[in-house]
Amino acid sequence: MKLTKKQIDRYSRQIILKKVGAIGQKKILKSSVLIVGAGGLGSPIAIYLAALGIGKIGIVDKDNVEISNLSRQIIFETEDISKSKSTAAINKLKKINPEIKLKAFNKNLTIVNINQIAKKFDLIIDGSDNFRTRFLINDYCLSNKKILISGAISKFDGQVYTFNFLKKNSPCLRCFIPKMPDDNEPDTDNCEYEGILGPIAGIIGSIQANEAVKEILGIGKTLCGYILIIDALKLTFRKVKLNKRSDCYCNEKK
Ligand SMILES: [Zn+2]
């Protein structure tokens, strides 16, 4: 695969980075990322990854765009209200970068459909808003040795964690949260109950996109084995070690 003149022009500012170069750009163009949730996190994740040339991007979301989404879900415009989120998001990405493959999955991710949807993607980014989906994606990525980059936001706070299940010693979500919280109760992820200020979604989503590129290129030190906790009011960034628990489900899977 040779980069075209147009690709060299489009991606020139990242190609000149020594750690990316033409070889790295080709890796980016060959990579595929599935984004679960076209919301506050999914918006910046999708925009950045499409812009920098991820070869194939899938977006999973069953909801339609609501007016209350527009304060933070920056991939959507007022005219998208009532449209399918996954389709509206893909249509926006086509305008940003018409040269990449895009696929909308207008459905909820379930134990029945996750393999069919996710198997063709190298890396999964979780921008969902409920624990049921988070645990489902964690267990799928663990069983299928995929890289998972997860983010969560609430009020003025956010967290990012990366699990690289290609590595033997990667912890998993269950090492961090052993028992799945009950989604019937308003949980800390739920913007509807808790509220959210838009830019924290931009900060966390941008970090998830950045981690994804680092994993694809194999550059830098990724978050695997740590949780990044951001308090946007105090503006503190804390990186906390997350060890693999010896009694966790992930040990049985190895
Ligand atoms: Zn675990």
- Dist. CA 223 → ligand 1 center (Å): 16
For the chain, the straight-line distance linking the first and the last C-alpha, in angstroms and rounded, comes to 35
Mean pLDDT for the stretch of residues 113-126: 97
For the whole model, what pTM was predicted? Answer: 0.95
**Rounded mean pLDDT of the chain?**
94
% the chain with pLDDT above 90: 87
Q: What pLDDT was estimated at residue 181?
A: 82
Q: What pLDDT was estimated at residue 187?
A: 47
Mean pLDDT for the stretch of residues 136-157: 96
List pLDDT tens digits, range 163-219: 999 988 899 999 999 888 876 554 444 666 789 999 999 999 999 999 999 999 999
Does residue 18 register a pLDDT over 70? yes
- Dist. CA 130 → ligand 1 center (Å): 19
- Dist. CA 65 → ligand 1 center (Å): 34
- Dist. CA 98 → ligand 1 center (Å): 39
- Dist. CA 175 → ligand 1 center (Å): 4
Mean pLDDT for the stretch of residues 96-109: 97
Q: What pLDDT was estimated at residue 223?
A: 94
- Dist. CA 215 → ligand 1 center (Å): 20
- Dist. CA 249 → ligand 1 center (Å): 6
- Dist. CA 246 → ligand 1 center (Å): 8
If pLDDT is split at 50, 70 and 90, which confidence band does 69 have? very high
Q: What pLDDT was estimated at residue 188?
A: 43
Q: Are 99 and 76 spatial neighbours (Cβ–Cβ below 8 Å)?
A: no
In the structure encoding, which two tokens stand for residue 195, read together? 């509220």
Alpha helices per DSSP H over the chain? 5-10, 12-15, 21-30, 42-51, 85-96, 114-118, 131-144, 173-176, 191-194, 198-217, 249-252
Does residue 68 register a pLDDT over 60? yes
- Dist. CA 37 → ligand 1 center (Å): 23
What's the rounded Cα separation, in Å, for the pair 78 and 235?
Answer: 31
